[in-house]
């Protein structure tokens, strides 16, 4: 069975405070509809606060961090040119997609660009090629 988008994610649930939903709902140039509830996007077993994206514009996104709910504006993680779905400076591995691949099966949890490249090369080799899945 293949890996799903949520495999390996923390998934801790949090209701988004109504005043935050209202404040972020009418931001000019906003990228997303602000959700009423979110789940943590970090890798399962992480330390520190839970993290979920609420809104984005340009290169910045607003994230809900909680043990106690609060919002922060942080640029998205683009370490090593990866398209990571987490905020800059996050703990743990990157949760990446291939922005230039139309039918990407990601996102994938990886430590760095080399691990992503190896994983993609293995998946492109296809079944029966003798390559092992690095996951």
Instruction: Determine the distance from the C-alpha atom of residue 45 to the mean position of all C-alpha atoms in its chain, rounded to a whole number.
Output: 15
Kindly report, residue by residue over 58-97, the tens digit of the pLDDT: 888 899 998 866 778 888 898 888 888 899 999 899 998 8
Give the model's confidence band at 1: pLDDT under 50 very low, under 70 low, under 90 confident, else very high. very low
Would you call 70 helix, strand, or coil by DSSP?
Answer: strand
Residues in CB range of 117: below 8 A, 6 or more apart: none
Whether residue 72 lies inside any domain: the answer is yes
Give the model's confidence band at 135: pLDDT under 50 very low, under 70 low, under 90 confident, else very high. very low
pLDDT of residue 101: 67
- By CB neighbour count within 10 A (0-12 exposed, 13-18 middle, 19+ buried), where does 125 fall? exposed
Show the domain range for 70.
Answer: 13-125
Whether residue 103 lies inside any domain: the answer is yes
Tokens representing 64? 């809900």
Q: Are 52 and 63 in contact (CB under 8 A)?
A: yes
Whether residue 91 lies inside any domain: the answer is yes
Unique residue bearing structure tokens 């691949």? 101
pLDDT of residue 97: 82
Whether residue 81 lies inside any domain: the answer is yes
Whole-number percent of the chain with pLDDT over 90: 26
- By CB neighbour count within 10 A (0-12 exposed, 13-18 middle, 19+ buried), where does 81 fall? exposed
The per-residue pLDDT of the chain, averaged, comes to 81
pLDDT of residue 51: 92
Instruction: Determine the distance from the C-alpha atom of residue 94 to the mean position of all C-alpha atoms in its chain, rounded to a whole number.
Output: 8
Whether residue 34 lies inside any domain: the answer is yes
- How many domains, the chain? 1
Regarding pTM above 0.85, the answer is no
Whether residue 29 lies inside any domain: the answer is yes
Kindly report, residue by residue over 104-125, the tens digit of the pLDDT: 677 889 999 899 888 878 777 6
């Amino acid at each position: 069975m293949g890996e799903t988008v949520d495999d390996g994610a923390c998934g801790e649930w949090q209701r988004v405070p109504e005043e935050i939903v209202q404040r972020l709902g009418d931001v000019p140039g906003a990228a997303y509809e602000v959700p009423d509830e979110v789940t943590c996007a970090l890798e399962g077993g992480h330390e520190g606060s839970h993290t979920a994206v609420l809104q984005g514009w340009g290169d910045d996104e607003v994230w809900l961090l909680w043990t106690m709910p609060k919002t922060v504006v942080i640029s998205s993680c683009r370490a090593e040119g990866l398209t990571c779905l987490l905020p800059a400076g996050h703990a743990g591995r990157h949760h990446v997609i291939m922005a230039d691949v139309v039918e990407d099966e990601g996102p994938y949890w990886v430590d760095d660009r080399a691990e992503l490249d190896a994983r993609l090369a293995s998946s492109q080799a296809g079944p029966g090629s003798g390559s092992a899945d690095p996951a």
